């Protein structure tokens, strides 16, 4: 499944577009390495948090960077997934567990349990995105923002 970009095809825009636009079945996405799914999920979540902060009217980049941390740090994502877990389908819950249980290097500034749950959350987002369940993914992200906003109020 791994695609290599060689000098012969790296400048071929059709090849690049086709690689980016690859669609995956649920089975193909579920069979992927959970850390690869988490990699995609992390990028998507971070991007949508940035769009959310910009959409709230913030334009100070330093402020947005500091504020985004309250949404994307491992402890926040762990709280999100623990809150949303009862609302997940069996398949979604399995993806969270696969990501959570995957061996990975935990950063020294992170709580290991939080980091693993955060990886599970990101794995779920990556899975939903790659198998085309973008509306479901976005709804979970909207709920995630609400979870963190409510925690920040407390």
Active-site amino acid positions: 42
Whether residue 50 contacts residue 68, with contact meaning beta carbons closer than 8 Å, is answered with yes
- DSSP 8-class letter at 56: T
Per the listing, tokens 């709920």 go with 143
Q: Is the dihedral of CA 48, 120, 124, 143 positive or negative?
A: negative
SS3 percent helix, strand, coil of the chain, rounded to 5, is: 75, 0, 25
For residues 124 and 118, give the distance between their C-alpha atoms in angstroms, rounded to a whole number: 10
């Amino acid at each position: 499944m791994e695609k290599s970009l060689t000098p012969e095809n790296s400048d071929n825009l059709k090849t690049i577009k086709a690689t980016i636009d690859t669609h995956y079945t649920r089975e193909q996405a579920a069979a992927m390495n959970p850390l690869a799914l988490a990699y995609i999920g992390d990028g998507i979540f971070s991007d949508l948090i940035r769009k959310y902060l910009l959409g709230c009217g913030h334009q100070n980049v330093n402020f947005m960077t500091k504020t985004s941390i309250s949404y994307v740090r491992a402890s926040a994502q762990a709280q999100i997934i623990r809150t949303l877990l009862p609302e997940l389908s069996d398949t979604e819950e399995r993806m969270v567990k696969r990501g959570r249980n995957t061996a990975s290097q935990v950063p020294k500034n992170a709580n290991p349990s939080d980091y693993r749950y955060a990886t599970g959350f990101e794995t779920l987002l990556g899975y939903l995105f790659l198998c085309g369940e973008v509306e479901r993914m976005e709804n979970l992200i909207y709920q995630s923002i609400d979870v963190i906003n409510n925690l920040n109020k407390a």
